[in-house]
Amino acid sequence: DGTARGAQAFLEEYPDIQILGLPGTIDNDLYGTDLTIGFDTAVNIAVEAIDRLRDTAAAMGRLFLVEVMGRDSGFIALHTAVASGAEAVLIPETPTDFDAIVRVLERGWQRHKTSSIIVVAEGDEAGGVLRVASQLESRFPHYEIRTVVLGHIQRGGPPTATDRLLASQLGSAAVELLHEGASGAMLGLVQNHLTLTPFSKAAKTHPSPNPLLLRLVEILSL
């Protein structure tokens, strides 16, 4: 959204210069598009890391708290949690309920589940994986707890096919629209249809994570 604000300010200062924006952020928190360029790659990196951590968690009987990026947005954490089958997810958009998390862990323990994964968004109100770990250690002593901060590894590496396709589609459309005289907006894809969102709206409006995915995390943790 910082780029959108900057583009809007530049456009107001130099109205004769055409400016179009593309939604490039791993956080997926821009209004006017279903996906941002980089989001799918970041989620896939996080899911691959958790797939590897599950082997260690299962072998050693551990609870892993995995912190992913996203600033004050929980999209990466939520999508990663669903795709990796995590037992719980903590995101900034919803209050953190440690009692509910402990109930999930206890339910799994009673079913002889020997390990668990919890995905934590870096901007969650709980304050990151270290504070979450300190809260859970006293409430649920059955697991040995380990914390992992994936950090900037999510921002690099080869992009996924989905990100390459999205960037190609939007980049090509932007060139055509500039030739047609379009300006002052960010391009996006909503339900596979090209959209144009004014910079002013893209910078001020933030989408919310799908509540159905939050429910899906609960279902998959059973």
Active site residue 27: yes
- At residue 1, the pLDDT reads 61
In terms of DSSP bridges, do strands 116-121 and 62-68 run parallel, antiparallel, or are they unpaired?
parallel
**Cβ-contact 202, 1 below 8 angstroms:** yes
Bridge partners of 67? 120, 149
pTM score > 0.85 for this model? yes
Token pair in block for residue 132: 């979450």
- At residue 114, the pLDDT reads 85
Catalytic member of 1, 16, 27, 124: 27
Q: Could you read off the pLDDT of 170-190 as tens digits, one per residue? A: 999 999 999 999 999 999 999
- Using a pLDDT cut of 70, give the percent of the chain over it: 100
**Cβ-contact 189, 195 below 8 angstroms:** yes
Give the domains, in start order, of the chain with CATH numbers: 2-38+159-204 (3.40.50.450), 39-156+210-220 (3.40.50.460)
Could you say which residues of the chain have pLDDT below 50? none
Where b means 16+ CB within 10 Å and e means fewer, 172-203 reads ebbeebeeeebbbbbbbbeeeeeebbebbebb
Interatomic CA distance for residues 31 and 50, integer angstroms: 29
- At residue 138, the pLDDT reads 87
A 10 A CB-CB count for 37 gives: 23
- At residue 136, the pLDDT reads 92
**Cβ-contact 21, 187 below 8 angstroms:** yes
